[in-house]
Amino acid sequence: MHFGFRALVAQPDERLAKIAYSRVHHRVLYFIARNPGCSINELLSIMGVSKQYLHRPLKQLVEDGYVLLKTDCEDKRIKRIHLTERGKALEFDLSDNQRARFQKVFNLAGPQAEAGWREVMRLLAEFGDD
């Protein structure tokens, strides 16, 4: 599992290092891309992390123009999180390689292997804290 994970993150890690970012920045971009307009508290819950964990990378992403915080129309205390066009491009660049790797491997392994892998991942997520 370690070697497979290492191969999966190698290219995104190289790209992130070139802009002085780390995997946490990729995670933040990934979850914002899949939950556009979520609040900061919703993002914390989705990611299962603390405010302290998220604060620095989110601040960097905002300052560097990858993420935009918008005040909620109904509740001014809530900030809604969106990727900018620049953020969408970076997230796509980082994640597309991983999607392509999975697709290639699933094509080679076949549909039964893919279904088995997906079930194992689902169970790991479901029972992750046990």
Q: What is the pLDDT of residue 130?
A: 59
Structural domains in the chain plus CATH codes: 2-96 (1.10.10.10)
Q: What is the pLDDT of residue 125?
A: 86
What are the percentages of helix, strand and coil residues in the chain, rounded to 5? 70, 10, 20
pTM of the model: 0.88
Q: What is the pLDDT of residue 2?
A: 84
Q: What is the pLDDT of residue 34?
A: 97
Q: What is the pLDDT of residue 129?
A: 67
Low-confidence ranges of the chain (pLDDT < 70): 128-130
106 vs 6, 12, 114, CA distance in Å? 18, 20, 6
Q: Write out pLDDT tens, residues 19-38.
A: 999 999 999 999 999 999 99
**Dihedral over Cα of 82, 65, 49, 99: its sign:** positive
List the structure tokens of 114: 């893919």
